[in-house]
């Protein structure tokens, strides 16, 4: 390991020493069990011997924990130059904080015996596993490489190289790959006589004596990956001399053995290894992130088109630009500590205090330390960790400290984390602080206020906060603590998904207050200890996230932008783009997608989640949806491919432990009473116990508890100061989440002390910051328990509610000016969820006309986006508020209800619209007759459907032949009527004499018009009717034209349908080869669009076609795949139709 900034040859004088060590079998002393090192470490057992020393498991008396201790050669301990260099190496290694890195603790000297202590990681080395077990699977290999690469990327970000990556230095701890020997594995120098490392893993530029950088670790990791895949190393060398000769004459790695997977996989991996093992570092894959992405991408190869990502080239004529990792903007806490004086060597000890608190030192000077908390990895409580570090520094040496919240641009290949100016505010605060003080900026103080007492300090034109001390701790028990079984199940599922690189979807279902959110937080915290996972978290609100794919926007703006870059008219293409973004993203690190309160998500987001479950393949993506179960216990549907985890009530023993944790010392009889009243409901139990604890009740002062949970919450709210109650009720008006800025409009009297009051409410466990992706939080909050919000809202009388909702509506108008012109709100960039929320507040404020207009706009926008359930809700509200329902509103309601709720109800809306439509408006009346016919068709009431279509045609073509003037101008409605009448008569009822002419007339009406999509629909109706009449050549012509239009419109779903139909009709006609071609293309399109059930249908049809060609093995394979897919996708429609004409 070495610093990327320090590749000099200052250790060239160590060559004789290292040669002497190489000839020495090991340390001159062996530590016996129970012996002591430096009076602190008690030896437990020997763990293994390496080239530099022996590793022991020891017990650290001071920390009362077991650690690993590496005892180095006596010769090294006697060499001053080596000790100084190793001290620098260990200081650098301590800066790496990553779950896949074995943490280096300290460097010590016991007499002349040098040792290094580090985290104790239990488990075999990767080398031992390779020797003792079967070859790992491709998914396991990719997972190991991703973990190792993630660890090295974290090291590279703080300027540290490893330089001895090999299976011997990787420990496998229950699926977690841990890279060891940072700080002691190698020494950096240019003298080839003292090159350190294992010969076959050393990069050629090191062996050639050339300057090197982080790409030496890319090379070593690629050798390791090649060995995992092939079972042998790419270059068989045993000594440094052999390795040096090989480096002098550059060679490409040999192709992988033919025993490695299918040809497409081998070819894709060969391309990756050719660039990752390029002897020229300038041509090599440029970073650990790109290496892991390349191998993950190659492992998913399904054809020769897969190309390993490379760093962009500046050469003229370079190949297609690669995928490159973006620089990330991170929010971090900057710490600047200034000491008044320090003893010699004290700076190193102070640096360790920062690292142990979770910080990343950026600079360590004689009297100043600067550090960042939250990069490269955020731990969630980074500001608090910075305070703890500052307190530890001040306790060790007198000085002063400043804290500030900053945005850091984290570049993927940068050698340093940040520019000096990022610390300017923290530095100014440290300069202004008195001795022993910690000053925090206002933004940092907002993050700390719930945990620390603070006092204001005036600094010229700004105000800082002085950290006084910790706030008095309150009894608190995390609900997840009492969900250990469910947490273990989710951890196992996550490890299965990430380790085997396969998607998993779990839905956690529970009633409100059962601890879903805390369980999610516990899972993320547990996984953060094991591996580097990117979590995409979004929460749906009852009156929010109504925009199409709003959950994607909440989870990650880039995900939403990628999915909707071509609009959302083609739903299949939108879903394919969303899936592609997620698949590509998962090649960097495993992805955890969390959608909370999925029952309130927009319809398109919910549909996408279901699509992802059945369409993702061979990617480490864990999808977690959290759904609130209705209080009436109504059953929720079981969806294919989803593991359902229901959170039951807590059993009496667990409930009692929860009460005791929150209210220690509570008498047994009081605990039993709370358990009985709480009925296993975690929130109820917590609130009852907290009420008991906050009253400071002792055993002799037991008094009866409130009779109901609502009463408990009422008691808690009544115990708040009046201004707090005003804030809580104002926030309740806005919903489960609320904006800080809006509170000033609703509760104007609280504006002066708003921030302090929010802090106190957070400390009381009523609210919490709602931190956005990549944001610092502090501007948006949420209720910790929705029932607190509901009770607080119920306390308002009708007059207060109207006034509060009116204030929120005014604030929304101010924040979104487009709402001031509702007629234009459908065109301007006001999100649909904002329009819907605006409508809700207008309605509650009593402005019913404006509310109806806003609901109508929201409903029509939902309808245009095919979000029928959301459209139905909004349009129903419109209908309830307007004095009279016009025919257009009734028509829109029918369209929404038809696909969201009830066909019968939709018919009633269409009939209402028909009855209220002007008799002279023949076009609209004819369209309504078609909608009525369509609804009747869905009910299989074919006589009624034919009557409706004929009624519409009586308006479009009064004499049955010639079109009315309005239909001549726009023949689409007439074509719909003719086409659907013919389809019902011919295809459904078998009356081809009536059906075929009608369908043919529909096509004729649209020929030569710009209405290509409508023409495709008419051709589809005609083709189905031809099939019913056994006119397969005519059906073929319709299907071919459908395909041509689908290609013309770039409509993948239209192409998919046409290809499936063409495969069937060519098969019927005996043209088996052509049928196979179309069906194989259909299978590829189905995979691309995520229509997995159609993949099963195509596989099923291919099985029949292959049987016709006596390709029995292929037929069996396709049929087996069809069965598996149909079971996963929840559809079996393809199976009984398998080549039914054979």
Q: Residue 915 contacts by C-beta under 8 Å, 6 or more apart in sequence? A: none
Q: Residue 315: which of 283, 280, 351 has the closest Cα?
A: 283
Which residue bears the tokens 């037991």?
702
Query: CA dihedral in degrees (291, 293, 294, 298; nearest 10)?
Result: 140
Looking at the DSSP assignment, which residues form a beta bridge with residue 466? Answer: 439, 455
3 state SS of 1051: coil
Rounded distance between C-alpha atoms, residue 744 and residue 807, angstroms: 10
Cα–Cα distance between 464 and 906 in angstroms, integer? 62
What distance in Å separates the CA atoms of residue 981 and residue 1018, rounded to the nearest whole number? 11
> What is the spatial distance between Cα 1086 and Cα 335, in angstroms, rounded to a whole number?
53
Angle between helices 346-356 and 382-396 (to 10 degrees): 150
Separation between Cα atoms, residue 219 and residue 225, nearest integer Å? 10
pLDDT < 70: residue spans in the chain: 1-29, 51, 133-134, 183-197, 301-330, 344-345, 376-380, 409-421, 450, 461, 472-481, 542-546, 630-635, 694-712, 715, 750-751, 771-778, 823-828, 1126-1142
Q: Per the omega criterion (within 30 degrees of 0), is the bond before 376 cis?
A: yes
| Residue 571: other Cβ atoms inside 10 A | 17
Contact between 1013 and 1033 under an 8 Å Cβ cutoff? The reply is: no
Give residues with Cβ within 8 angstroms of 884, minimum separation 6: none
For residue 164, indicate whether it is catalytic.
yes
For the sheet containing 53-60, what is the strand order? 36-37, 41-49, 53-60, 65-72, 113-118, 104-110
Q: Residue 1022 has which token pair?
A: 């005609």
Enclosing H/E stretch for 49: strand 41-49
The continuous run of DSSP H or E covering 671 comes out as: helix 668-678
Catalytic residue among 164, 181, 217, 541: 164
Neighbouring-strand partners of residue 781: 738, 769
What is the rounded distance in angstroms from the CA atom of residue 23 to the CA atom of residue 20? 5
- pLDDT tens digits for range 832-886: 888 988 999 999 999 999 999 999 999 998 888 778 888 898 999 999 999 999 9
Polymer length of the chain: 1142
Distances 53 to 50, 58, 111, 179, 673 between C-alpha atoms, Å: 5, 15, 16, 18, 62
Q: CA 1090, 1092, 1097, 1100: dihedral to nearest 10 degrees?
A: 120
Torsion sign across C-alpha atoms 1082, 1083, 1086, 1092: positive
- How far apart are the C-alpha atoms of 676 and 687, rounded to whole Å? 14
In angstroms, the CA 689 to CA 138 distance is 51
β-sheet with 621-628: strand ranges across: 534-539, 591-596, 621-628, 504-510, 643-646
Euclidean distance between CA atoms 288 and 334, whole angstroms:
27
Domains of the chain: 2-118 (3.30.200.20), 126-299 (1.10.510.10), 328-470 (3.30.70.1230), 479-646 (3.40.50.300), 652-705 (no CATH), 798-899 (1.25.40)
Cα 833 to Cα 306, 498, 608, 855: the distances in Å are: 40, 34, 18, 10
Phi, psi of 47 (to 5 degrees): -100, -25
Instruction: Assess contact for 839 and 851: CB atoms under 8 A.
Output: yes
Report which of 412, 343, 350 is spatially closest to residue 375, judged by C-alpha positions. 412
Contacts of 887 (CB under 8 A, 6+ apart): 912, 913, 914, 916, 917, 924
Which DSSP string do the residues of 69-82 spell out, in sequence order?
EEEEPHHHHH-HHH
Which helix (H) or strand (E) is 210 found in, with range? none
Q: Count Cβ atoms below 10 Å from residue 476 Cβ, excluding itself.
A: 11
Diameter of the chain measured on Cα atoms = 112
Burial class (CB in 10 A: 0-12, 13-18, 19+), 298: buried
Strands 113-118 and 534-539: unpaired
- Can you give the pLDDT at residue 828? 55
Stretch (H or E) spanning 740: helix 740-746
What is residue 823's predicted lDDT score, i.e. its pLDDT?
A: 63
- pLDDT number for residue 760: 85
Beta partners for 538?
595
Residue 60 backbone phi and psi in degrees, to 5: -85, 110
Q: What's this model's pTM, rounded to 2 decimal places?
A: 0.67
Phi-psi region of 513 (alpha: psi -120 to 50; beta: other; left: phi over 0): left
Burial of 368 (0-12, 13-18, 19+ CB in 10 A): middle
CA 252 – CA 177 distance, rounded (Å): 28
CA angle 1138, 1140, 1142 (to 5 degrees): 110
pLDDT score of 415: 44
How are beta strands 591-596 and 504-510 bridged, if at all?
unpaired
Confidence (pLDDT) at 777 = 41
| H or E element at residue 525 | helix 516-528
Between CA 890 and CA 882 the distance in angstroms is 12
Residue 1094: closest CA among 1129, 1047, 1043, 1045:
1129
- For residue 376, the 8-state DSSP code is S
Nearest by Cα to 746 from 799, 810, 837, 793? 810
Question: Alpha-carbon distance 1092 to 1084, whole Å?
Answer: 10
How far apart are the C-alpha atoms of 693 and 473, rounded to whole Å? Answer: 12
Residue 119, C-beta contacts closer than 8 angstroms, at least 6 positions apart: 67, 68, 102, 103, 104, 105
**Residue 407 gets which letter from DSSP?**
E
Q: Report how far apart, in Å, the C-alpha atoms of 30 and of each of 19, 106, 585, 680 are.
A: 22, 21, 49, 57
Q: 858-872: b or e for each residue (b if 16 or more CB lie within 10 Å)? A: bbbbbbebebbbbbb
Pair of tokens at residue 848: 């019913």
SS3 675: helix
Q: What are 236-253's pLDDT values in tens digits?
A: 888 888 888 888 887 889
Please work out, in degrees rounded to the nearest 5, the angle formed at the alpha carbon of residue 1140 by the alpha carbons of 1137 and 1142. Answer: 155
Question: Measured between alpha carbons, how far is 1083 from 1062 in angstroms, rounded to an integer?
Answer: 13
- What pairs with residue 456 in β-bridges? 465
């Amino acid at each position: 390991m070495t610093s990327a900034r320090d590749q000099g040859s200052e250790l060239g004088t160590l060559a004789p020493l290292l040669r002497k060590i190489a000839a020495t079998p090991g340390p001159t002393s062996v530590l016996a069990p129970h012996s002591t090192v430096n009076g602190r470490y008690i030896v437990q057992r020997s763990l293994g011997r390496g080239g530099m020393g022996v590793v022991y498991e020891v017990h650290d008396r001071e920390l009362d924990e077991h650690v690993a201790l590496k005892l180095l050669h006596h010769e090294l301990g006697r060499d001053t130059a080596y000790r100084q260099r190793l001290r620098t190496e260990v200081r650098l290694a301590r800066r790496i904080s990553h779950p896949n890195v074995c943490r280096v603790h300290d460097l010590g000297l016991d007499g002349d015996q040098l040792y290094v202590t580090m985290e104790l990681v239990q488990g075999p080395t990767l080398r031992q596993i390779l020797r003792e077990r079967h070859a790992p699977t491709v998914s396991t290999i990719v997972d190991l490489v991703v973990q190792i690469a993630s660890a090295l990327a974290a090291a590279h970000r703080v300027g540290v190289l490893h330089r001895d990556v090999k299976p011997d230095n990787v420990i496998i701890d229950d699926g977690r790959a841990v890279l060891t020997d940072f700080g002691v594995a190698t020494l950096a120098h240019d003298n080839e006589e003292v090159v350190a490392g294992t010969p076959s893993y050393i990069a050629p530029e090191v062996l050639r004596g050339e300057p090197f950088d982080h790409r030496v670790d890319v090379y070593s990791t690629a050798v390791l990956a090649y060995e995992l895949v092939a079972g042998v190393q790419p270059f068989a060398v045993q000594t440094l001399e052999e390795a040096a000769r090989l480096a002098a004459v550059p060679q490409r790695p040999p192709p992988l053995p033919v025993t490695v997977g299918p040809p497409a996989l081998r070819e894709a991996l060969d391309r990756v290894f050719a660039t990752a093992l390029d002897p020229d570092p300038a041509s090599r894959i440029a970073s650990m992130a790109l290496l892991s992405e390349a191998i993950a991408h190659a492992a998913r190869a399904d054809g020769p088109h897969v190309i390993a990502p490379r760093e962009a080239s500046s050469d003229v004529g370079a190949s297609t630009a690669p995928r490159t990792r973006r620089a990330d903007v991170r929010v971090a806490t900057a710490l600047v500590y200034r000491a008044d004086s320090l003893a010699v060597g004290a700076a190193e000890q102070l640096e360790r205090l920062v690292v142990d608190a979770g910080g990343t030192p950026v600079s360590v000077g004689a009297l100043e330390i600067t550090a960042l908390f939250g990069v490269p990895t955020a731990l969630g409580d980074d500001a608090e960790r910075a305070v703890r570090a500052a307190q530890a520094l001040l306790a060790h040496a007198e000085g002063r400290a400043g804290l500030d919240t900053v945005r850091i641009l984290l570049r993927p290949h940068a050698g340093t984390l940040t520019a000096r100016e990022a610390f300017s505010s923290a530095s100014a605060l440290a300069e202004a602080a008195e001795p022993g003080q910690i000053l925090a900026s206002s933004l940092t103080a907002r993050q700390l206020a719930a945990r620390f007492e603070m006092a204001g300090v005036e600094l010229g034109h700004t105000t800082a906060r002085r950290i006084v001390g910790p706030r008095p701790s309150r009894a608190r028990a995390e609900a997840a603590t009492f969900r250990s079984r469910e947490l273990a199940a989710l951890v196992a599922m996550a490890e299965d998904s990430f380790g085997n690189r396969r998607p998993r979807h779990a839905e956690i279902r529970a009633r409100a207050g059962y601890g879903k959110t805390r369980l999610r937080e516990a899972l993320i915290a547990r996984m953060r200890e094991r591996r580097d996972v990117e979590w995409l978290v979004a929460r749906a609100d009852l009156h929010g996230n109504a925009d199409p794919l709003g959950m994607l926007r909440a989870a990650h703006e880039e995900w939403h932008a990628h999915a909707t870059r071509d609009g959302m008219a083609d739903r299949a293409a939108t879903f394919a783009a969303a899936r592609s973004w997620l698949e590509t993203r998962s090649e960097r690190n495993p992805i955890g997608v969390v959608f909370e309160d999925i029952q309130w998500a927009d319809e398109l987001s919910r549909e996408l989640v279901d699509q992802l479950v059945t369409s993702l393949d061979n990617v480490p993506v864990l999808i977690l949806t959290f759904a609130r179960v209705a209080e009436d216990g109504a059953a929720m549907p079981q969806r294919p491919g989803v593991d359902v985890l229901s959170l039951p009530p807590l059993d009496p023993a667990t409930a009692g432990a929860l009460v005791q944790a929150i209210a220690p010392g509570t008498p047994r009889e009081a605990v039993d009473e709370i358990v009985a009243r709480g009925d296993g409901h975690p929130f109820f139990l917590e609130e009852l116990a907290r009420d008991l604890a906050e009253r400071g009740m002792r055993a002799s002062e037991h008094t009866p508890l409130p009779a109901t949970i609502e009463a408990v919450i009422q008691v808690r709210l009544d115990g708040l100061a009046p201004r707090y109650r005003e804030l809580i009720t104002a926030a309740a008006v806005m919903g489960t989440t609320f904006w800080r800025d809006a509170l000033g409009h609703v509760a104007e009297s609280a504006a002066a002390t708003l921030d302090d009051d929010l802090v106190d409410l957070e400390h009381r466990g009523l609210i919490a910051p709602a931190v956005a992706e990549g944001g610092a939080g502090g501007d948006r909050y949420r209720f910790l328990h929705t029932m607190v919000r509901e009770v607080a809202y119920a306390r308002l009388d009708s007059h207060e509610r109207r006034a509060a909702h009116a204030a929120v509506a005014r604030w929304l108008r101010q924040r979104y000016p487009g709402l001031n012109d509702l007629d234009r709100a459908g065109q301007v960039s006001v999100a649909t969820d904002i329009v819907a929320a605006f409508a809700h507040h207008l309605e509650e404020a009593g402005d019913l006309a404006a509310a109806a207009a806003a609901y109508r706009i929201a409903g029509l926008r939902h309808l245009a986006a095919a979000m029928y359930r959301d459209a139905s809700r909004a349009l129903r509200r419109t209908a309830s508020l307007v004095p009279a329902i016009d025919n257009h509103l009734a028509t829109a309601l029918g369209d929404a209800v038809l696909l969201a709720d009830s066909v019968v109800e939709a018919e009633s809306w269409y009939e209402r619209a028909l009855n209220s439509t002007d008799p002279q408006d023949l076009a609209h009346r004819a369209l309504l007759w078609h909608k009525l016919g369509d609804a009747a068709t869905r009910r299989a009431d074919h006589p009624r459907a034919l009557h409706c279509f004929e009624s519409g045609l009586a308006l479009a073509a009064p004499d049955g032949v010639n079109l009315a003037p309005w239909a001549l101008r726009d023949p689409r409605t007439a074509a719909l009527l003719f086409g659907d009448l013919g389809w019902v008569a011919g295809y459904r009822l078998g009356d081809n004499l009536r059906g075929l002419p009608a369908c043919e007339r529909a096509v004729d009406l649209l020929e030569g018009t710009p209405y290509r999509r409508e023409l495709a629909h008419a051709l589809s109706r005609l083709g189905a009717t031809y099939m019913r009449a056994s006119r397969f050549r005519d059906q073929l012509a319709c299907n071919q034209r459908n395909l041509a239009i689908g290609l013309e419109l770039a409509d993948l779903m239209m192409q998919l349908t046409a290809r499936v139909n063409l495969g069937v009709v060519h098969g019927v006609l005996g043209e088996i080869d052509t049928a196979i071609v179309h069906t194989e293309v259909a299978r590829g399109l189905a995979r691309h669009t995520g229509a997995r059930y159609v993949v099963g249908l195509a596989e099923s049809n291919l099985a029949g076609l292959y049987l016709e060609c006596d390709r029995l093995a292929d037929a069996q394979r396709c049929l087996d795949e069809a069965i598996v897919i149909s079971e996963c996708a929840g559809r079996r429609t393809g199976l009984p139709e398998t080549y039914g004409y054979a």
